[in-house]
Amino acid sequence: MSIKRWAAAMAVAAACLAAGASSAQASLPVIYNFPTAIAASAVQPGGSPAGANVACTPSAAHPRPVVLVNGTFANQITSWNAVAPLLKNNGYCVYTFNYGGLFVGQIGSYGPIAASAGELKTEVDHVLSVTGASKVDLVGWSQGGMMPRYYLKNLGGAAKVNALVGLAPSNHGTTLSGLATLAGYFPGALPLVGALCPACTDQVQGSPFITALNAGGDTVPGVKYTVIQSKFDEVVTPYTSAFLTGSNVTNITIQSKCILDLGDHLSMPYDHVVDREVLNALDPAHASSTICTPILPAVGG
């Protein structure tokens, strides 16, 4: 990332933190800033974001726990410092986990995607056990929005999942250049692209994994799918390759909700417009519109 872009990111981070300090609310702070999340990861490598992985009994209003699934090269704390506390503040039980390997505690989710889907299965079974719920909802970013589809299709996940919400998911693959772009934002990740990153080769457009995943249709019966994507995505390209086809699918281009949103692949989980749509997808009976404000690429807001 350029010095200019990092400077802009830090300015937004300072503004967010100042706003949080001035608030008297008891709710958890929601940090709409991707660089701040990277900094948090350095302090607590691989740790849980605020609001996640605490003892929780689902409410009648929100009877399904939400499992958050991060993307390639990320981990649970770099990905969910906005969504996890936001969901917790809205009354959800929230769970996150690391999968697909952790490299020096920072870089994660680079292992074979089929194996990672097995780790998701274990996590969902654990969450159902500790909460007593019958199903979960899944929210995933990038690989984390696509990988659960393998679980749903091949590992019995459809019986345990009500909805999958994908943020810029790599549903129909991407390019190695796109994955290299992604790796450039995670210090130390770039050397993993290629042979050292099975998840990368699995996600390449036309790979055997992607081809098999989408054979016979994009969806499985009984699960509701929502895809939220930015037309400025520089990793999953063309951006429309994130979208799914099916009667149980809702595809959302975020600029249709807010023309001022310049967010890209990196900013997706730290974009308040995107996160409003996550809440709407999880509870459509109480959906509401968001306030349209400028969103910065690679930062959020």
Over residues 62-99, the pLDDT tens digits come to 999 999 999 999 999 999 999 999 999 999 999 999 99
User: pLDDT value at position 185?
Assistant: 87
User: pLDDT value at position 20?
Assistant: 38
d(CA 127, CA 95): 7
User: pLDDT value at position 221?
Assistant: 97
pTM for this entry: 0.90
**Within a domain: residue 117?**
yes
**Residue 1 CB: number of other CB atoms within 10 A?**
16
d(CA 152, CA 120): 10
Contact 301, 269 (CB under 8 A): no
**Within a domain: residue 69?**
yes
Nearest to 162, CA basis, from 58, 55, 28: 58
**Within a domain: residue 291?**
no
**Within a domain: residue 138?**
yes
**Within a domain: residue 300?**
no
**Within a domain: residue 255?**
yes
Which tens digit of pLDDT belongs to each residue from 34-68?
Answer: 998 888 778 888 899 999 999 999 999 999 999 99
**Within a domain: residue 293?**
no
> What CATH number does the domain containing 130 carry?
3.40.50.1820
- Give me the residue label for tokens 């990740």: 189
User: pLDDT value at position 195?
Assistant: 76
Number of structural domains (the chain) is 1
User: pLDDT value at position 105?
Assistant: 66
Averages of pLDDT over runs of 10 residues in the chain (301 residues) are 40 40 62 89 86 97 98 95 98 97 84 98 98 98 98 98 98 91 88 87 95 98 98 96 97 98 97 98 96 96 97
d(CA 226, CA 266): 19
Query: For residue 95, what are its two tokens?
Result: 């769970």
**Within a domain: residue 295?**
no
User: pLDDT value at position 292?
Assistant: 97
Domain carrying residue 47:
3-286
